[in-house]
Structure 1
Amino acid sequence: MSSWDRARFIPWSRIPQDGADLDGQKERLFRELQRETQQTELSLQERNPAIPSTTTTTDDATTNAAKSTKVPYSHMELLRQAAFGACIGSITGCVFGFMDGMRTAGQSDVLQKASNMAKFRYLMQGTTRSGSVFGAFFGGFHVVKYGLRTTLDPGEAGEIVISGAVSMGALMSKPAFRPFMPYGSMLIIMDIAHIVMREMDKE
């Protein structure tokens, strides 16, 4: 059961409100509640052996409820995911576009002879184009991830694999966008690294 699912069964009044390590507090309280429930049932059974144990039944019901629960869909959350992906993708794309433009300008004989204003316009065009492509790419990636989370719920690994395949397929579909594929894969790897680091912090 994930920490989000477990949190649905925790009395929030028992969680300290100072904002320190809420994830750790939720896990600790969940384990404490389980121990208290088991101790209460054992105490009742010692007083009256005819009372059946309900620990297994309660755990099974909790597990079944968690399995059947998906992340509820929200328009605001969808927009937030799209905006986050578009923002990160645009910033990264602008950096990549500017670097590529500088490299091309240094290798091109025509651009070396051009005026500074012509070079500036060339750099801005490349930067804007790259930022737009990567903003749409990474924004779409996060939108697909959120859609999968609220429908199929394949887990984080499944979300990344399917969303990555869809997004990379969109770049591959147009020859003009295929040079961006290595940079697109770097953005997906960065997203994977972010998830791994977040999970390590929880442990």
Structure 2
Amino acid sequence: MSSWERARFIPWSQIPQDGADLSDKKERILRNLQREADKQEKELQQMALDATKNGVSSADETAQEINEFKIPFRWGDLAKNAAFGGTIGAITGSVFGFMDGMNGAGRSDVLMKASNMAKGRFILQGMTRSATVFGVFFGSFHVVKYGLRVAAQPGEWGEIGIAGAISLGTLMSRPALRPSMPYASMLVIMDGVHIVMREFND
């Protein structure tokens, strides 16, 4: 290869400008260029390695943050939510059942002529039936809410909306329980009112 052909691979800034013979210095110039190329390649490799480490670190930090905010599932918490909803639902259902029983006893010609013991038995049966329906309904509502909180974390309003739709939909699917829909809806609404009042007090 001639000196001119070799010079084509050498940057213009490295070619001697003092008129010196390029053939005497070209080997040294090429070695310097090779060292600079090797240095740049090592720097690029180090930058790529640092970027990879930073990416892994960022991913680890993100995963750690997600785990910190994730609510762990606990059977004890599930039982507490079920017990709370079941208790509130049963008490509320008992009141509703008593009111419906009193109204039914007052409107029924047969019960108006019946003894007080028969009227009391009729009202007690209505209370028991209503307490069971609303206890199961509201207990299930709070179980679904807890499941959503652990699995999806849609927020308190999201929990109420989704759990309410599922619970009320299940109640609506049974014709015998459809008359309880207004009272059941009121329980779900009161759960939302509780959140509003809590935020207002805070």
What's the TM-score once normalised by structure 2's chain length?
0.67
Task: Show the 5 A alignment for 1:1-203.
Answer: 65=65, 69-201=69-201, 203=202
Deviation at 1:127, TM superposition (A): 0.3
Cα distance in structure 1, aligned partners of 2:140 and 2:181:
14
Gaps of 5+ in 1: 1-60
Cα distance in structure 2, aligned partners of 1:155 and 1:174:
29
Tell me which amino acid in the other structure corresponds to 1:115. Answer: S
Tell me which amino acid in the other structure corresponds to 2:145. Answer: K
Cα distance in structure 1, aligned partners of 2:106 and 2:70:
52
Cα distance in structure 1, aligned partners of 2:71 and 2:134:
27
Deviation at 1:69, TM superposition (A): 2.4
RMSD in angstroms over aligned alpha carbons? 2.0
Cα distance in structure 2, aligned partners of 1:67 and 1:76:
20
Cα distance in structure 1, aligned partners of 2:68 and 2:183:
37
Q: Write out the 4+ residue segments of structure 1 that deviate beyond 3 Å after TM superposition.
A: none
Tell me which amino acid in the other structure corresponds to 1:157. Answer: W
Cα distance in structure 2, aligned partners of 1:79 and 1:67:
23
Deviation at 1:115, TM superposition (A): 1.2
Cα distance in structure 2, aligned partners of 1:70 and 1:194:
24
Give per-residue Cα distances to partners, 1:45-64, cap 9 Å, x unaligned. xxxxxxxxxxxxxxxx68x8
Cα distance in structure 1, aligned partners of 2:114 and 2:176:
25
Structure number with greater Rg is 2
Give per-residue Cα distances to partners, 1:68-126, cap 9 Å, x unaligned. 72211110000000000000000000000000000010011111011111111100000
Residues 90 and 132 in structure 1, CA contact (< 8 A), matched pair in contact too: yes
Deviation at 1:67, TM superposition (A): 8.4
Give per-residue Cα distances to partners, 1:15-46, cap 9 Å, x unaligned. xxxxxxxxxxxxxxxxxxxxxxxxxxxxxxxx
Give per-residue Cα distances to partners, 1:112-165, cap 9 Å, x unaligned. 011111111100000000000000000000000000000011111111111000
Residues 134 and 184 in structure 1, CA contact (< 8 A), matched pair in contact too: yes
Cα distance in structure 2, aligned partners of 1:190 and 1:170:
19
The aligned length equals: 143
Q: Give the percent of matched residue pairs that are identical in Structure 1 and Structure 2.
A: 62
Cα distance in structure 1, aligned partners of 2:156 and 2:124:
37
What's the TM-score once normalised by structure 1's chain length?
0.67
Give per-residue Cα distances to partners, 1:143-202, cap 9 Å, x unaligned. 00000000011111111111000110111111110000000011011110111111222x
